[in-house]
């Protein structure tokens, strides 16, 4: 256990360094965008005096390093600044959309994780059969298609003339659980189709790599059924790579929803960052991007810890 605690401390320190580097990249990326933020806010009809006054009020005339230090200091205090578009605190805007994005990610994960594990186990059990080839071909097909293409295909199939599901995942009117599941089904299904393939293929590969092990051969000689061999003997030893790929895909469900949310007009962080980029609302863009980076680092840390806990050789190193 001390080894695990030391590993967690090292990963946390590395995660903080990573977030610091990412914060520099985010700030520089927004600063290097062409155009004048003040001019964009006031419009082309604004006088030079008005633009200069707004630049002074927003601190845009300060050196870049000073503005970065001020921004990072405010972030460490929990202050993400104020939106330039509507004057609301950025933390409040992110908080409202964060709940929606997490709900969609959990919805997609509740479908994709069990489905990918089941398909991966069955593909390993019936490897080199017609079922295995069909599942692998379907997985490669879904990986090859970009998210927006999958989303539009699903809209055409399920939200066209039949109208089984809405093409726009509006959450107005505070919908209940059943209504939310219905409205958000197509975005969740899009994310499921995109992420299931990776997790299924990793599950299949990890299990097949262990099926040639001596203890698996011994289990076969004892007459244990193939399904029991996979579930009781192969799967527990294949958890480390499976947990890693699941955690990476969960991170994608949170941080990679931008395209899906825009296609379905889903009111989450992805839609918020696109609207903010269009409006040149840089405090919101910086806050959402830093939040995405933090979520990715945290889920990677969780994956490392769970993979270590699932492997006795890593838990009790000599």
pLDDT tens sequence for the chain (318 residues)? 566 677 778 878 888 888 888 888 888 887 777 666 676 666 667 777 777 787 777 777 778 888 888 888 888 888 888 887 777 888 888 888 888 888 888 999 899 889 988 888 888 888 888 988 998 888 888 888 888 888 888 888 887 666 788 888 877 777 788 888 888 898 999 888 888 888 888 888 888 887 777 877 787 777 788 788 877 777 777 777 788 888 888 888 887 778 888 888 888 888 888 888 877 788 888 888 888 888 888 888 887 777 777 666 655 555
Token reading at 139: 């997985």
| Res 257: pLDDT | 79
For 256-281, where are the alpha helices, taking DSSP H only? 258-263, 269-278
Q: What is the pLDDT of residue 40?
A: 67
> Which residues on neighbouring strands pair with residue 89, listed in sequence order?
82
Q: Per the structure block, which two tokens stand in for 209?
A: 């790599």
Distance CA 261, CA 104 (A): 10
- CB neighbour list of residue 281: distance below 8 Å, 6 or more residues apart: 83, 84, 85, 275
Residue 191: which residues within 8 A CB-CB, separation 6 or more? 104, 105, 108, 112, 147, 253, 257, 260
SS3 297: helix
Residues with Cβ < 8 Å from 33, sequence gap 6 or more?
A: 280, 282
Q: How high is the pLDDT of residue 43?
A: 67
Structure tokens at 150: 């999958």
Assigned token pair, 156 = 């055409």
For 117, the token pair is 């594990």
Q: Where in the chain is the domain with CATH 1.10.3720.10?
A: 98-315
| CA–CA gap between residue 187 and residue 107 (Å, rounded) | 9
Q: What is the CATH number of domain 98-315?
A: 1.10.3720.10
pLDDT at 317: 55
User: In angstroms, rounded to a whole number, what is the distance separating the alpha carbons of residues 277 and 211?
Assistant: 50
| 26 close to 288: Cβ distance less than 8 angstroms | no
Specify the pLDDT at position 316. Answer: 57
Query: Can you give the pTM of this predicted structure?
Result: 0.82
Q: How many CB atoms lie within 10 A of CB 34?
A: 4
Question: Residue 133 contacts by C-beta under 8 Å, 6 or more apart in sequence?
Answer: none
DSSP string, 145-169: S-HHHHHHHHHHHHSSSS-SS-SS-
Predicted local distance difference test score (pLDDT) of residue 76:
85
In angstroms, rounded to a whole number, what is the distance separating the alpha carbons of residues 289 and 26? Answer: 7
Q: What's the pLDDT score for residue 150? A: 86
């Amino acid at each position: 256990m001390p080894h695990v605690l030391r590993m967690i401390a090292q990963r946390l320190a590395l995660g903080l360094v990573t977030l610091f580097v990412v914060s520099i990249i985010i700030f520089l990326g927004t600063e290097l965008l062409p155009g004048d933020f003040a001019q964009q806010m006031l419009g082309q009809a604004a006088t030079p005096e008005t633009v200069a006054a707004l630049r002074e009020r927003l601190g845009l005339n300060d050196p870049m390093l000073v503005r970065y230090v001020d921004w990072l200091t405010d972030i460490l205090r929990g202050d993400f600044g104020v939106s330039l578009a509507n004057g609301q605190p950025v933390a409040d805007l992110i908080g409202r959309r964060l709940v929606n994005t997490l709900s969609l990610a959990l919805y997609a994960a509740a479908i994709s994780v069990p489905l990918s594990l089941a398909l991966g186990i069955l593909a390993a059990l019936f490897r080199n059969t017609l079922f295995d080839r069909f599942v692998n071909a379907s997985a490669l097909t879904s990986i090859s298609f970009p998210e927006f293409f999958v989303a539009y295909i699903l809209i055409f199939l399920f939200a066209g003339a039949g109208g089984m599901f809405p093409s726009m995942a509006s959450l107005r009117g505070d919908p209940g659980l059943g209504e939310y599941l219905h409205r958000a089904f197509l975005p969740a299904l899009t994310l499921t189709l995109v992420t299931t393939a990776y997790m299924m293929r990793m599950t299949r590969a990890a299990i097949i790599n262990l099926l040639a092990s001596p203890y698996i051969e011994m289990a076969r000689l004892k007459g244990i059924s193939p399904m029991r061999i996979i579930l009781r003997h192969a799967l527990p030893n294949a958890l480390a790579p499976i947990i890693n790929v699941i955690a990476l895909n969960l991170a994608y469900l949170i941080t990679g929803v931008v395209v899906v949310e825009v296609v379905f007009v889903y009111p989450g962080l992805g839609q918020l960052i696109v609207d903010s980029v269009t409006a040149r609302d840089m405090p919101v863009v910086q806050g959402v991007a830093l939040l995405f980076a933090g979520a990715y680092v945290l889920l990677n840390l969780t994956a490392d810890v769970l993979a270590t806990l699932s492997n006795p050789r890593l838990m009790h190193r000599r």
